[in-house]
Structure 1
């Protein structure tokens, strides 16, 4: 008995927590589990590892030489020589390379943020059709119940000789259509659920709990338009890539300047046995300084030109992105207004059609006539209810896309 009570409480708690799950909760789950987004973040982390690679000095060079035939010197024969040298690029070269790599990594992070926002939009785009499907199923189920009641009434009136058998047949045909439509809607649920669950990278058969209805609010003019070009990760990524190209150009210029090297030679000298001289057998030290002379300028000029062309590319890309975002905003804003107008229209049509249907049904109940008009009006009401549900879904999907291009944070 105690175990049963504990299980019952656990089920209740799980039920409450599941019902409390919102679209924002699904956003967080998708952000944590989506493999595409995780790959995008790894791309940023990999880019960060580029910074220490380009900002480090070249490896020192160590060499060892052994004289097979010793070279005789005044203080003895040279038997072996050790050399150690280190090259240093022109001042600021490594810093410019590090800045370029760091800026490119920051651009990768902005690309990750854009991918995250795009994922949120994809989740919304898959979430709202599930709500629409539930509403269409409920509308169709209600229609079946109404038609069933109509069939019973028409059958009763036929038995009493008030109405013809054609009324029963008409409603029976419509009833079969409605039942078929409901069956199709039930089959449609699986692909929608699988699509949604795959975005969250979870079991494709896991139940998706959605809200019962959608709230449609009137939006102010130019809603979120001020965020269109100020907080957009796509534009930020382009700016950062352009700055990275400027640093790459500077690095290319400095790579074309001389590099300096310092080193040390250490020679092992054997003792002379034929005579005794000062510093007999003394090992030799020789500090060295070297300079690399970048005579072959073609590759440096090409690297500078490449960086300049990339800057021009990002300039054009930014202009194109701004144009795309601006036109996209206006297009989405039109869709929102259009769907809002249609929702208001369908709501009015539903009310008026419902009133007309009630009057026609009352007249049919009294006279047994015009049953075909009753059925036609019932189907008209069904059509408006479905169209309203679909318009609300399209409105919310358009709003989700608007939130994406304006980089709304959650």
Structure 2
């Protein structure tokens, strides 16, 4: 039943997380259903909800039974045993204040669950973006190895024809060896990332990973000022602190009411046996029995209220501190987002120019045996720009995902 509730809540939230990003959405769903940390946070929230019925209930009634070993004689007969029942009633509103405090504490736990969900989704996105980049880097490296192999064949033909030195072949082989080593490192890195990703999803069998042909480059939908305002209003860590402070307000009410009198109502039942004058036994009932508990030691209750006052002040400072930390995180992330946006434009242009230059150099080498060293240099830059462009795309989306996390998305 609890798992059904969790899945239902997450199903309501998922559509706003990554609309139009189907490749990523399915992994978010798997993580939401299986991640043990998220399950633990949700069960902590359910546990907190169960405290409300406990605190709103009246104190347990007191029952007492007394048996007279030597019956007390009355004119109606001897008293044989006595039974009494008493129910205590705290001051009006005390139980309601305690219940409200507990409910707000449960809401604070729910915000922590939401924080855990947002953090999990950000981690899934960040890991998926890293895997996307590594996968693209493998493909780009293989593509560059193929290009070098083509040049290697061309150089071999020219060496046989005596048009160029065999050094050209050796240089190409050295470049290929470097790229093959880089490729092996990338594949090792890819395997480790896949293991970490599957552990994050907590699945028994590794999931099949799919990628778009090119990562989307959509911009963040809010401007900087609006995004920061949204963080201050909707961040789940801040909302949890707000809920905790509201719980303290109700706890202060309960502490004040604890210093008020409490009441008790009850009955006494006395069983009277058959008397010496052969009178039939007669039960005597004393009702009502009213009691009053007067809290005389005021320092105790004043201290309870002052304790909550200090806790409220602590929560105020905690919220300011958390808001400052979040603002710094946001500023750094927005800087990364802006930088990635610029790099996409830069390396897109650089890659376009590098490819045009590479074609010209290929033509010159094919027909005039010129600029071989420049070809190798340009090939390295072409590889660099391809990787830098994909890295900029992933960095931009990772920054957007983290800003979304700070906003409680």
Q: CA deviation at 1:295?
A: 2.4
Q: Distance in 2 between matches of 1:385 and 1:299?
A: 71
Partner of 1:96: 97
Q: Distance in 2 between matches of 1:281 and 1:294?
A: 42
1:183 aligns to 2:184 (yes or no): yes
Task: Could you list the structure 1 runs, at least 4 aligned residues long, displaced by more than 4 angstroms after superposition.
Answer: none
Q: Distance in 1 between matches of 2:219 and 2:61?
A: 68
Partner of 2:346: 345
1:31 aligns to 2:32 (yes or no): yes
**Which secondary structure does the structure 2 equivalent of 1:229 belong to?**
helix
Partner of 2:259: 256
Q: CA deviation at 1:218?
A: 4.1
Q: CA deviation at 1:154?
A: 0.9
Choose which of 231, 234, 248 in structure 2 pairs with 1:231.
234
Partner of 2:389: 388
**Which secondary structure does the structure 2 equivalent of 1:261 belong to?**
strand
**Which secondary structure does the structure 1 equivalent of 2:69 belong to?**
strand
Q: CA deviation at 1:276?
A: 5.7
Q: CA deviation at 1:29?
A: 2.0
Q: CA deviation at 1:31?
A: 1.3
1:213 aligns to 2:234 (yes or no): no
**Which secondary structure does the structure 2 equivalent of 1:224 belong to?**
helix
1:127–1:210 contact (8 Å) kept in structure 2: no
**Which secondary structure does the structure 1 equivalent of 2:234 belong to?**
coil
Choose which of 233, 239, 243 in structure 2 pairs with 1:240.
243
1:235–1:318 contact (8 Å) kept in structure 2: yes
Partner of 2:286: 286
What are the equivalent positions in structure 2 for 1:330-369 lying under 5 Å apart?
A: 330-369=331-370
TM-score under structure 1 length normalisation? 0.90
1:66–1:81 contact (8 Å) kept in structure 2: yes
Q: CA deviation at 1:402?
A: 0.8
Structure 1 residues 184, 204: closer, same or farther in 2, change over 3 A?
Answer: farther
Partner of 1:17: none
Structure 1 residues 304, 211: closer, same or farther in 2, change over 3 A?
Answer: same
Q: CA deviation at 1:204?
A: 5.6
**Which secondary structure does the structure 1 equivalent of 2:78 belong to?**
strand
How many residue pairs end up in the alignment? 386
Q: Distance in 2 between matches of 1:176 and 1:106?
A: 59
Q: CA deviation at 1:395?
A: 1.2
Q: CA deviation at 1:190?
A: 1.6
Partner of 2:327: 326
Any stretches of 5+ residues in structure 2 without a counterpart?
1-20
Q: Deviations over 1:219-256 (max 9, x none)?
A: 46326344222222222221111111010011011112
1:132–1:390 contact (8 Å) kept in structure 2: yes
Partner of 1:105: 106
1:193–1:204 contact (8 Å) kept in structure 2: no
1:51–1:102 contact (8 Å) kept in structure 2: yes
Q: Deviations over 1:174-207 (max 9, x none)?
A: 1111112112212222211121122221136332
Q: CA deviation at 1:315?
A: 1.0
**Which secondary structure does the structure 1 equivalent of 2:233 belong to?**
coil
1:107–1:236 contact (8 Å) kept in structure 2: yes
What's the Cα RMSD here?
1.7
Any stretches of 5+ residues in structure 1 without a counterpart?
1-19
Q: Distance in 2 between matches of 1:385 and 1:358?
A: 16
Q: Distance in 2 between matches of 1:108 and 1:329?
A: 24
Stretch of structure 1 that moved more, 236-245 or 218-227: 218-227
